[in-house]
């Protein structure tokens, strides 16, 4: 919100603010997974066989991180949509000519007693998209996690 107030509301401000705030979760998850996989026996065997660090990262560590990365990306989609909608609702997000669900909910706030659907349907759309993104992330996690697969 501080960045939106300092620079001014707009599409690129929202993109930049959400990118600045969103990278830390990815970095923490990838670092933890890489450290865990780096202690595995197959990485030690690759190191003993003479593989370079770049080859170990590319051929052994990265393929084991991709599944977790895809899952966290699908779960973060909902958080980014909610953050953008909240900024637009407050007037600090995407400006008026560009449509945004948060600004649609904000525009219908004054008309709730006469035209309730102006705010209700964009709010329902936000909820459904966030919920479906979370279901998609859970489904992908179940499909990609070998410990959860049934024989």
Residue count (the chain): 151
Place of tokens 């004054």: 110
What are the tens digits of pLDDT across the range 36-74? 998 999 999 999 999 898 999 999 899 888 888 888 888
Sign of CA dihedral 112, 116, 121, 126: positive
Return the DSSP state at 93.
S
Place of tokens 């998209």: 129
Share of the chain above pLDDT 90, in %: 19
Burial class (CB in 10 A: 0-12, 13-18, 19+), 66: exposed
> Is the pLDDT score of 126 beyond 70?
yes
The H or E element containing residue 26 is: helix 11-38
Report the C-alpha gap between 58 and 55 in whole angstroms: 5
Q: What is the pLDDT of residue 150?
A: 62
More confident residue, 150 or 139: 139
Question: pTM (2 decimals)?
Answer: 0.75
User: Mean pLDDT in the chain?
Assistant: 86
What are the tens digits of pLDDT across the range 11-34? 888 888 888 888 888 899 999 999
> Is the pLDDT score of 118 beyond 80?
yes
């Amino acid at each position: 919100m501080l960045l939106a107030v300092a620079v001014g509301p707009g599409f690129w401000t929202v993109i930049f603010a959400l990118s600045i705030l969103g990278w830390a979760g990815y970095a923490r998850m990838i670092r933890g997974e890489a450290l865990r996989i780096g202690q595995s026996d197959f990485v030690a065997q690759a190191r003993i066989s003479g593989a370079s660090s770049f080859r170990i990262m590319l051929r052994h560590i990265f393929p084991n991180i991709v599944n977790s990365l895809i899952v966290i990306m699908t779960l973060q989609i909902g958080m980014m949509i909610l953050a953008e909608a909240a900024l637009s609702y407050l007037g600090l997000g995407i400006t008026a000519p560009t449509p945004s669900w948060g600004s649609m909910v904000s525009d219908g706030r004054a008309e709730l007693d006469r035209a309730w659907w102006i705010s209700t349907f964009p709010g329902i759309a936000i909820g459904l998209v966030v919920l479906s993104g979370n279901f998609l992330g859970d489904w992908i996690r179940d499909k990609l996690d070998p410990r959860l697969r049934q024989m």
